[in-house]
Chain A
């Protein structure tokens, strides 16, 4: 069924009785050409691009819970491509271009809203760093504008510009950045993949990976063994656990990152604002709630919930930046489990095991990467080789010393 304004009208006139489910609920076959482990944004996008661009439709996506039950529904929905380093910029810009055509590609309303992403700076040296980042972006063909304090004041009323401990001196703006409706991204990819013949197997937890003579032959699941020639892992948050089933030890730690939504208020922020003197990013949802997040809690966690010190810290940052928020009540708060890699950049690559592919290490930034991640992972699985766009995201880059350290801080698991 194709979604359109006409279909909406036709169904409305017939009492909305003939909508069909967005995807099938098939029984697992004994074997597939390719299995994708993880029915989140990245796994579903991979399945979609495998089917659409590479003609590989004998594919199943294995999900331990329901589709989109992990991080794709737990982020702060921000999309952007404001990266500095050559290994990162073309990849994230490709993602941004895919976002711009996503709804037409999927025939699904993902509510992509290019409302801009504004990174504030608060000192001269920070302005220099952001100018450098903006220049690097523009050299790579990405849009970037450096705003002075007056331009920021005009764009975002309500900011504590002058009397704050860290006065706002300006900001780096990417106008093409913005937000998207995160659940709809998972649902759109799921529906599009399903329509091309991909089996979406929910409640099918992978319990083992079968490897014979250095080659993957299938996976053990809660619903029995499923054979496959190729297996792709897109299980950020649990990558270490799943990869350990195949005997791999990875440069990954799992950490909890919290996000928050306030009560709904009238339109207050029509862009995405990030705080340069603390760690806060805030936007306003279409329902009126302010959506914000900050730092990871800092200790290893698989618990999908955080603790109060970080709640405190994020709220303090929000009130420093927008004093009017001090009267707001926050409604909801949740945690997602991030794959924190040792340089803050992701991994999309083959593994030493033939036929086993790895997509992990997304740190804070998995959501915005969803389309390009699926696109590159599909290419890597279909051809057996990384695409030029993910050529830097190799698993062995740590051993080779070629890390992509956007923050310049060395090997630790608390970077972006």
Chain B
């Protein structure tokens, strides 16, 4: 897999650390327990297009939001998490 880093260009995935699915917004501190359970444990786990977080640890060290197809590993795009 090669990931098109918006800062460094297209690089091999071994330069990156993967951190799983791009999470939904974090619940408020006072949110009910069920919201935290949902946030912490439950996953959509789609077979197909999947948004996930990767960090370019051996490059610019920026966190990226990568869109990837989990059926064939095709990388569909990458954008910086911070504008």
A residues sitting closer than 8 Å to B (CB atoms) are: 238, 240-241, 249-254, 298-303, 307-309, 342, 398-399, 411-413
Contact = CB atoms under 8 A, between A and B. Distances in A.
Contacts of A308: 14
A300 B41 contact: no
A407 B18 CA distance: 20
A293 B72 CA distance: 22
Contacts of A238: 47
Contact of A399 (B20, B34, B73): B34
29 contacts: A240-B43, A240-B44, A241-B45, A249-B42, A251-B41, A251-B42, A253-B21, A253-B43, A253-B45, A254-B70, A299-B18, A299-B68, A299-B70, A300-B20, A300-B50, A300-B70, A302-B70, A302-B71, A303-B70, A303-B71, A303-B72, A303-B73, A309-B14, A398-B37, A398-B40, A399-B34, A411-B40, A411-B41, A412-B20
Contacts of A252: 43, 45
A249 B44 contact: yes
Nearest to B48: A302
B70 A301 contact: yes
A398 B39 CA distance: 12
Interface in B33-83: 33-34, 37, 40-47, 50, 52, 68, 70-73
Best-surrounded residue of A249, A299, A411 (most CB of chain B within 10 A) = A299
A405 B29 CA distance: 25
Contacts of B40: 342, 398, 411
Interface of B: 1, 13-14, 18, 20-21, 33-34, 37, 40-47, 50, 52, 68, 70-73
B71 A300 contact: no
B9 to A, nearest CB: 19
A252 B46 CA distance: 11
A95 B5 CA distance: 47
Contacts of B21: 253, 300
Contacts of B43: 240, 249-253, 413
Contacts of B73: 301, 303, 307
Contacts, number: 66
Contacts of A300: 20-21, 45, 50, 52, 70
Nearest to A297: B18
Q: Which 10 A-B pairs have the closest CB atoms?
A: A240-B45, A251-B41, A309-B14, A398-B41, A302-B47, A399-B37, A299-B18, A342-B41, A300-B70, A298-B18
A21 B21 CA distance: 46
Contacts of B18: 298-299
A140 B45 CA distance: 36
A410 to B, nearest CB: 9
A307 B1 contact: yes
A280 to B, nearest CB: 18
A399 B43 CA distance: 14
A413 B44 CA distance: 13
Contacts of B41: 251, 342, 398-399, 411
Nearest to B73: A303
A327 to B, nearest CB: 25
A412 B72 CA distance: 23
A129 to B, nearest CB: 26
Nearest to B66: A299
A301 B74 CA distance: 11
A344 B45 CA distance: 16
Contact of B45 (A250, A398, A411): A250
A253 B20 contact: yes
Contacts of A399: 33-34, 37, 41
A399 B38 CA distance: 9
A70 to B, nearest CB: 14
A299 B52 contact: yes
B58 to A, nearest CB: 12
A368 to B, nearest CB: 24
